[in-house]
Amino acid sequence: QVQLVESGGGLVQPGGSLRLSCAASGNTFRAYTVGWFRQAPGKEREFVAAISWTGGSSFYADSVEGRFTISRDNSKNMAYLQMDFLESGDTAVYYCAAADAALTMASRLSNRYDYWGQGTQVTVSS
């Protein structure tokens, strides 16, 4: 069993940066693929980024490629999403998720994930 708690959301101006954190409980976290998803009002939840259990592989949605960076520190049971050059279109609730499965292209799918956090709001506005 893994429990996930996101933090680090807030209000930021366009062009600014935020770093989201995902704190995990349970000593099996290091074996899980971690993904970040987001959901804007009136829209479906969408994939943002995913990282392998070792942290050695990752991939991103086209909309955030080059602006966001996913990372993890298994010694601390933590995962992160560094978000730079934020745009108004990035406004959403951001969710951390863990999957008991290897990182593959299927890691873009929300149904691939077994555990979810409660989400943290990110608002990009001037």
- Give strand pairing partners of 96: 36
The pLDDT of residue 1 is above 90: no
Local confidence band at 44 (pLDDT 50, 70, 90 cut-offs): very high
Local confidence band at 54 (pLDDT 50, 70, 90 cut-offs): very high
User: In this structure, which amino acid lies at residue 102?
Assistant: A
**What is the DSSP-derived secondary structure letter of residue 20?**
E
CA–CA dist 71, 77 (Å, integer): 11
Residue 86's SS3 state is coil
